[in-house]
């Protein structure tokens, strides 16, 4: 006869053991990067819910604030976005009055990007939120570990 009770126990045990686990996937570095990114993404979204800013939007605000007049193509290069993706983000920030485009004097193909006063103000708030977000993220590491982690991640994306 088919053993129905036994497999039930086996199933339970296996289910319990695997309940929080991911099996052999646990050894895959890329998988952990993906999960970690997801966790950071979710916390970022919560942190910036009030400001209604995304990671990319904050990154663009930040870079334009640091380097006024930067061209869209430069933003894309630094943030590893293509031109089309950069467009949609700049469009959104411009529509919200945080950023303005000006044709570059030295190169008519380029759009020089600048923050508006509203954009500057948003950036100040965003940097405070970033600080809180970073504190949450780094709370689980020592200073040495955080530094090592940044250095290793940089080896991946550089």
Partner DNA sequence: GGATATTTGTATGCTCTACTAACAATTACG
Partner DNA sequence: CGTAATTGTTAGTAGAGCATACAAATATCC
The site for DNA (CB under 7 A) is made up of 38, 42, 54-57, 71-73, 76, 80-85, 87-92, 101, 107-111
Shortest distance in whole angstroms from residue 128 CB to its own copies: 13
* Residue 149 contact, options its own copies, DNA, none, Cβ 5-8 Å cut-off depending on partner type: its own copies
Give every CB contact of residue 64 below 8 A, 6+ residues apart in sequence. 70, 75, 99, 113, 114, 115, 119
11/102 with CB nearer its own copies: 11
Q: Which does 93 bind (CB under 5 to 8 A by kind): DNA, its own copies, none?
A: none
Judged by CB under 8 A, does residue 2 bind its own copies?
no
Q: What are phi and psi of 10, to 5 degrees?
A: -60, -45
DSSP-H helix ranges across the chain: 5-18, 29-47, 55-66, 72-79, 83-95, 117-138, 143-157
73 CB-contact burial (10 Å; exposed 0-12 / middle 13-18 / buried 19+): middle
What count of other Cβ atoms lies within 10 Å of the Cβ of residue 61?
22
Q: How far is the CB of 52 from DNA (least distance, A)?
A: 7
Closer CB to its own copies, residue 80 or residue 109? 80
CA distance 61 to 25: 37
Give the shortest CB-125-to-DNA separation in angstroms.
17
Near its own copies in 9-38, by CB under 8 A: 11, 14-15, 18-25, 27-38
**59 closest CA partner among 82, 93, 83:** 93
Residues that bind its own copies (CB under 8 A): 8, 11, 14-15, 18-25, 27-41, 44, 55, 59, 62-63, 66-67, 69, 74, 77-80, 106, 130, 133-134, 137-138, 140-141, 145-146, 148-150, 152-157
């Amino acid at each position: 006869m088919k053993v129905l009770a036994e497999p039930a126990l086996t199933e339970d045990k296996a289910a319990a053991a695997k309940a929080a686990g991911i099996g052999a996937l646990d050894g895959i570095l890329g998988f952990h990067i993906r999960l970690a990114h997801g966790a950071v993404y979710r916390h970022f979204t919560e942190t910036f819910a009030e400001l209604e800013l995304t990671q990319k939007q904050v990154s663009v605000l930040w870079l334009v604030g640091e380097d006024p007049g930067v061209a869209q193509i430069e933003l894309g290069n630094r943030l590893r976005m293509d031109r089309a993706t950069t467009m949609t983000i700049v469009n959104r920030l411009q529509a919200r009055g945080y950023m303005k485009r000006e044709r570059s004097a030295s190169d008519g193909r380029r759009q020089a990007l600048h923050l508006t006063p509203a954009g500057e103000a948003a950036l100040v708030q965003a940097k405070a939120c970033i600080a809180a977000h970073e504190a949450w993220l780094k709370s689980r590491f020592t200073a040495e570990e955080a530094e090592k982690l940044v250095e290793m991640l940089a080896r991946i994306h550089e």
